[in-house]
């Protein structure tokens, strides 16, 4: 059943205990906060589980520490919005789509020119000249491209706010979101995977911020800071069948996605491809001596991880029903996922899913628990010392969330550096 079980042939004691803790935690949340809240939390936890699975295969299987989960998540979220939001008549009824179409055709033409220039070394031009020629031509053509796009973009923003969606089924957006994140991951991987892992962290961190900055600023595509809502759900929404039923349906959908991804990953783990990945993970030098193409496999892993992040991001954004590019935050959308994967055990898929649930319960409950603790403190302070608390103490208490995540990371690294379900990973360089 488990990735490492066939080797050990042991009873899944550890797995059962961790799963038990997760179930008890969820029941606790439901009892404290009610069913509707509990189901919402579980939906979000399943979305985070998809994201964490993407992260865990990159880190656990290939040692790639991707600190830019946020960027791939946002790409998925954008696709979920762009495909499911209704068509914007204010845009399509003008001649702007035609203008935009021509601008895109021009842009493609320019890109072809740039690719052409980057290949002139084949005609005997020295490589140094080629590099400079490519940079200069690319810069000039980029400026020209900008000059076509800027007036169209501002016209769109003026007359129609943004280009709107495509009005398709939201699940199309989920798939395209995965695809979009995968394509972005491919290009980023081509450039960055040659970097040592600590530099990869910095590169991905920066790229995620670039993706976010583009989304915030290209208002004609994303409505920028004005946000897009509501994003229709792939299942009947709360307005049709009520909160609890709609959220339960959504939960069924995301749980099925998690299950499908989990089963596919477990299957791949045992397949020749998975064995190849494990052989590279175990010892790169002997894998190369056995004919394995290490760089290509590493790129594949990176792209697969990004695809999962795109799908997870689409599911998460779709559930909140609002697309707000500025709402993607490193703490909520990168480091939280990182903590989930570390707690669960990097490279262990079941551990990662359970870790996602456990950390998300802690994350969600940190708010009400912190508030409750503060109220107790205020009550006791008033009773014993006639203490007058500062007025904003409630909002201060909410900041404890950051503290709790920091504390959690520290505790994990101290007491369970391999996670709750360690995967036997031994990197050998």
Which segment (32-40, 60-68, 384-392, 420-428) binds other proteins by CB under 8 A? 420-428
Residue 293 binds other proteins (CB under 8 A): yes
Q: Decide if 77 contacts 93 (C-beta within 8 A).
A: no
Using CA of residue 186, residue 192, residue 195, residue 199, what is the dihedral sign? Answer: negative
Which segment (12-20, 35-43, 212-220, 273-281) binds other proteins by CB under 8 A? 273-281
* DSSP conformation class of 41: H
Residue 5 binds other proteins (CB under 8 A): no
Report the candidate in 74, 128, 68 with the shortest Cα–Cα distance to residue 316. 74
Among 135, 213, 290, 380, binds other proteins (CB under 8 A): 290
Structure tokens at 315: 């599911």
- Pattern 227-266, other proteins, x by CB under 8 A: ----------------------------------------
- Pattern 294-313, other proteins, x by CB under 8 A: x-------------------
> By C-beta, is 148 or 278 nearer to other proteins?
278
Which segment (83-91, 112-120, 287-295, 401-409) binds other proteins by CB under 8 A? 287-295
Residue 424 binds other proteins (CB under 8 A): yes
- What's the rounded Cα separation, in Å, for the pair 96 and 155? 8
Rounded (5°) CA angle 78-100-91: 70
Residue 267 binds other proteins (CB under 8 A): no
- What's the rounded Cα separation, in Å, for the pair 259 and 43? 13
- Pattern 366-405, other proteins, x by CB under 8 A: ----------------------------------------
Structure tokens at 384: 């014993």
- What's the rounded Cα separation, in Å, for the pair 310 and 328? 13
SS3 228: strand
> By C-beta, is 287 or 311 nearer to other proteins?
287
Among 10, 146, 267, 275, binds other proteins (CB under 8 A): 275
Report the candidate in 191, 220, 193, 183 with the shortest Cα–Cα distance to residue 75. 183
Which parts of 9-94 fold into alpha helices (H)? 13-33, 35-56, 62, 69-84, 89-92
Site residues (vs other proteins, CB under 8 A) = 4, 7, 272, 275-276, 278-279, 281-283, 285-294, 424-426, 428
């Amino acid at each position: 059943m488990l990735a490492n079980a066939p080797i050990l042939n042991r009873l899944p004691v550890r797995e059962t205990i961790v799963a038990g803790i997760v179930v008890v935690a969820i029941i606790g949340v439901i009892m404290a906060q009610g069913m509707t809240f509990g189901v919402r939390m579980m939906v979000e936890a399943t979305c985070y589980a998809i994201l964490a699975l993407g992260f865990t295969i990159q880190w656990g299987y290939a040692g790639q520490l991707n600190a830019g989960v946020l960027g791939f998540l946002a790409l998925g979220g954008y696709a979920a919005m762009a495909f499911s939001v209704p068509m914007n008549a204010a845009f399509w009824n003008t001649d702007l789509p035609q203008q935009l179409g021509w601008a895109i055709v021009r842009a493609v033409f320019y890109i072809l020119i740039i690719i052409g220039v980057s290949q002139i070394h084949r005609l005997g031009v020295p490589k140094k000249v080629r590099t400079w020629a490519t940079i200069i031509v690319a810069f000039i053509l980029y400026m020209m491209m900008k000059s076509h796009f800027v007036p169209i973009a501002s016209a769109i923003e003026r007359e129609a706010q943004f280009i709107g969606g495509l009005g398709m089924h939201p699940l199309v957006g989920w798939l395209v979101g995965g695809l979009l994140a995968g394509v972005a991951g491919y290009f980023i991987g081509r450039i960055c995977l040659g970097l040592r892992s600590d530099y990869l962290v910095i590169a991905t961190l920066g790229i995620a911020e670039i993706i976010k900055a583009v989304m915030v600023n290209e208002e004609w595509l994303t409505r920028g800071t004005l946000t897009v809502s509501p994003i229709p759900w792939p299942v009947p929404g709360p307005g049709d069948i009520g909160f609890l039923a709609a959220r339960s349906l959504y939960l069924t959908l995301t749980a099925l996605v998690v299950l499908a991804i989990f089963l596919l990953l477990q299957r791949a783990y045992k397949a020749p491809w998975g064995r190849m990945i494990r052989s590279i993970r175990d010892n790169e030098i002997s894998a190369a001596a056995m004919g394995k193409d290490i760089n290509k496999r590493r790129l594949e892993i990176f792209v697969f991880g990004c695809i999962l992040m795109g799908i997870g991001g689409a599911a998460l954004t779709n559930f909140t029903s609002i697309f707000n590019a500025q709402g993607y935050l490193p703490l909520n959308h990168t480091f939280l996922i990182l903590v989930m994967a570390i707690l669960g055990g990097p490279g262990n898929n079941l551990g990662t899913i359970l870790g996602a649930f456990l950390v998300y319960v802690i994350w969600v409950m940190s708010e009400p628990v912190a508030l409750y603790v503060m109220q107790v403190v205020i009550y006791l302070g008033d009773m014993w010392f006639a203490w007058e608390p500062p007025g904003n103490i409630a909002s201060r208490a909410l900041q404890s969330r950051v503290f709790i995540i920091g504390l959690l990371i520290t505790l994990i690294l101290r007491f369970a550096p391999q996670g709750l379900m360690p995967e036997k990973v031994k990197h050998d360089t």
